Structure 1
Amino acid sequence: MRLRVDLVPQEGLSYADVVLVVDVIRATTTASAFLEAGARELYLTALRESARSFKDHDVVLAGEEGGLRPAGFDYGNSPREALEAAVGGKTVVMSTTNGTKAAHLAARTAKHVLLASLYNAHAAARLAHDLASEEVAVLCAGKEGRIGLDDTYTAGVLAEFLQIMGGYDLEDGALTALATRRTYPDPTEPLHLSAAAQALRQVGLEEDVTFCAQIAASPAVPLLEGRVGEALIFRRGQRNGSQSQIPTL
């Protein structure tokens, strides 16, 4: 089976099988936190205007503009805030600068799309391995069209977990991500060095970066299950068969 990592989204990319979308600071981390807080499902829209069209009494809006909560939205893109959010049984509609756009790109061709981060890395790797028949790809959201150190590092962590389950042929992007992971044994260092972290520091949200550096703290993996209008519908994915643990790296 192939293991592929695309370090930045590009038009024209296509996927044969399973894609793990990574925007570790912060969209894919926040998505898992909302599911842990009890959200029934997540709608991901590429544009904030599309998100606003879903507003209803059982729907809350979450997203960011310049790192902060957009006008008219209920929540920002903070995983710390999401974990404490009053979203039990509700639909959360998310729109962010990088992560939700990457998810839409993956959804054009992939059989299965999962949202992955350090926060849910073990669970996401296990579910991707279960679902895949020929390839697992990791699509890094990057930052505004450029490679992100934080997402590349996260892709390396996911690649290590997948390698433990065995049977993968690695292409150059996966090798690059693994090399990045091995350069930084402590996840807080590459995340805090990243451009995404620097942007959050400027708006007083650096604590979110520390939250996003947790490895395997959540079992919640958002899995694409359908569409409604311009939104992708994600619900909590479930594994079939064994729930065996991946060894700690």
Structure 2
Amino acid sequence: MRLRVDLLPREELVYPDVVLVVDVIRATTTAACFLEAGAEALYLVPSLEAARAFKDEDVVLAGEAGGLRPSGFDLGNSPREALEAPVGGKVVVMATTNGTKAAHLAGMTAKHVLLASLFNAHAAARKALELATEEVAILCAGKEGRVGLDDVYTAGVLAEYLGLMREVEPDDGARIALAVRRAHPDPLEALSLSAAALALKGVGLEADIPFCAQVAKSAQVPLLSGRVGEALIFKRG
């Protein structure tokens, strides 16, 4: 089984099989938390404007601009908030700066797209191996076009666990991610050093960082199941 890690989204990337999309601070962590809270489905859209187009009494709008809840949205992009949100049986429409866009890139070519984080790392890795026939790819969302330490570290945790379950052939991206993981045994230390974490501290949301650093706390794996308009529909995998 080939194991591939792409450190940043690029338009020319093509995925023949399974992709795990990672935006650990915070979109893919928050997505798992919405499913934990009972959401029926997650609609990932590429922009705030696209999210607003879905506004309805049975729809919850969640997202962020500069880390904060956008005007007119019901919720921000905090996994702590998502876990406690009254979203049972509802559709959550999400738009974020990095993670939702990376998911759209993966969805253009991949057979299967899953949202992965440290929070659901083991469940996501197991589901990826269950679905894959030739390759598991991990796509790091990064931060505004730059490589993110937090996402690369998470890719390393995923790669490590995938390697424990099945013999894999890692590419150079996977080797880089594994090296970052081994250099930082403590997930909180690794995430706290990232630009994404520093940005959260700047807007008073630093409590989200230790939450995102929790490993294998959820069995919920958002799996791409369809599309409607500009939205990718994710449900429990």
Give the alignment's Cα RMSD to 1 decimal: 0.4
| Residues 108-163 of structure 1: per-residue CA shift (max 9 Å, x gap) | 00000000000000000000000000000000000001100000000000001100
CA distance in 2, matches of 1:168, 1:186: 24
Secondary structure of the 2:38 match is coil
Secondary structure of the 1:62 match is strand
- What's the TM-score once normalised by structure 2's chain length? 1.00
CA distance in 1, matches of 2:4, 2:186: 23
AA partner of residue 120 (structure 2): N
CA distance in 2, matches of 1:208, 1:62: 16
CA distance in 1, matches of 2:167, 2:211: 32
AA partner of residue 99 (structure 1): G
Specify every segment of 5 or more residues in structure 2 that has no aligned partner in the other structure, as ranges.
none
Match of 2:35 in 1: 35
- What's the TM-score once normalised by structure 1's chain length? 0.95
Specify every segment of 5 or more residues in structure 1 that has no aligned partner in the other structure, as ranges.
238-249
AA partner of residue 38 (structure 1): G
Q: Report the Cα offset of residue 166 of structure 1.
A: 1.5
Percent identical residues: 74
CA distance in 2, matches of 1:53, 1:39: 19
CA distance in 1, matches of 2:220, 2:74: 22
CA distance in 1, matches of 2:92, 2:4: 30
CA distance in 2, matches of 1:66, 1:220: 27
Match of 1:63 in 2: 63
Match of 2:101 in 1: 101
Alignment of 1:45-194 (within 5 A): 45-194=45-194
CA distance in 1, matches of 2:169, 2:66: 38
Whether 1:7 aligns to 2:10 is no
Aligned residues: 237
Match of 1:214 in 2: 214
AA partner of residue 180 (structure 1): V
CA distance in 1, matches of 2:134, 2:187: 29
| Residues 69-103 of structure 1: per-residue CA shift (max 9 Å, x gap) | 00000000000000000000000000000000000
Q: Report the Cα offset of residue 167 of structure 1.
A: 2.0
Q: Report the Cα offset of residue 11 of structure 1.
A: 1.1
